[in-house]
Amino acid sequence: MDMTAAVAEPIASDQPLLRVQDLDKHFGPVQALFHVNLDLPSGKVTALCGDNGAGKTVLTKCVAGIYQADHGEFFWEGRPVHIHNARDASRLGIETVYQDLALADNLDIVQNMFLGRERLRTGLLDEDAMERAASETLSSLRVTTVRSIRQPVASLSGGQRQSVAVAKAVMWNSKLVIMDEPTAALGVVQTKMVLDLIRRLRDKGLAVMVISHNLNDVFEVADRIAVMYLGRLVVQDAATKFDRQSVVEYMTTGGFGRSGGRPAKES
């Protein structure tokens, strides 16, 4: 083993930031996840693909602590951890940006970014400190198209809202950012803006998991691709090992080069 390299980057080289092992989840009689294994390394964008109902969202919610898995383990930086609720997840440094973004339109950017974690001074809101911190985070992500960080979120474009939601997620020293369909509702320019933002998160050393249907975006931004099919994680590997056709085949059949697919459970 190369000790010097291990000292320089002990986690990134050895362990993924988060390893999900043998995750099972069922809702009543419906088995949503079967023995899912997934690695999310730091400094890499992992794209999670799959058809509707493949279990992407359930997997995401298990990682984010919204759902509790029936079986399975999480290893955070190599240590086994339990994620029982959203608070556990955010304590570890997992932040999720949901498709609906969860921003309050009537509040301004700063107020949204600090919602629920306001800074106080002598019992009252410390607006100056919050505005400074929010502005630092936004400029570190090079989100500069907003005219003023005191404008209400209602006045922002779709891409800007996505940026605010991401900035809100990374402000808390998060290490893993999960984004659910970040480009689904966006036009071409805005999509480019969000993809640039995702690359910047990766360059800052964060692990990013992007759920997407859009293979253009996946191949543009992902370093690794994982594909789910009917609750199973059928493949995960470097993005260079895939092409568009193979991803589509994994998504639709659960396998590659074997027409019909492995788990022949289609009804």
Q: Is residue 173 close enough to count as binding other proteins by CB under 8 A?
A: no
- Of 27-35, 116-124, 238-246, 250-258, the segment contacting other proteins by CB under 8 A is 116-124
| Among 94, 144, 133, CA closest to 110 | 133
Q: Is residue 184 close enough to count as binding other proteins by CB under 8 A?
A: no
- Per-residue contact string for residues 191-230; x = within reach of other proteins by CB under 8 A: -xx--x----------------------------------
Q: How far is the CB of 189 from other proteins (least distance, A)?
A: 5
Q: How far apart are CA 198 and CA 239, in angstroms?
A: 16
Number of residues that bind other proteins (CB under 8 A): 50
- Of 70-78, 143-151, 236-244, 254-262, the segment contacting other proteins by CB under 8 A is 143-151
Q: Which is nearer to other proteins, 159 or 254 (CB)?
A: 159
Handedness of CA 214, 219, 223, 229 (dihedral sign): positive
Torsions phi, psi for 89 (to 5 deg): -60, -45
Q: Is residue 84 close enough to count as binding other proteins by CB under 8 A?
A: no
Q: Which is nearer to other proteins, 7 or 188 (CB)?
A: 188
- Of 24-32, 53-61, 141-149, 251-259, the segment contacting other proteins by CB under 8 A is 141-149
Q: How far is the CB of 103 from other proteins (least distance, A)?
A: 6
Q: How far apart are CA 88 and CA 110, in angstroms?
A: 24
When binding is defined by CB under 8 A, the residue of 21, 37, 135, 214 that contacts other proteins is 135
When binding is defined by CB under 8 A, the residue of 111, 174, 212, 236 that contacts other proteins is 111
**166 alpha carbon, distance to own chain's centre:** 10
Partners of 125 in beta bridges: 120
Binding site for other proteins (CB under 8 A): 86-87, 98, 100, 102-108, 111-112, 115-118, 120, 123-125, 128, 131-132, 135-136, 139, 142, 144-152, 154-160, 185, 189-190, 192-193, 196
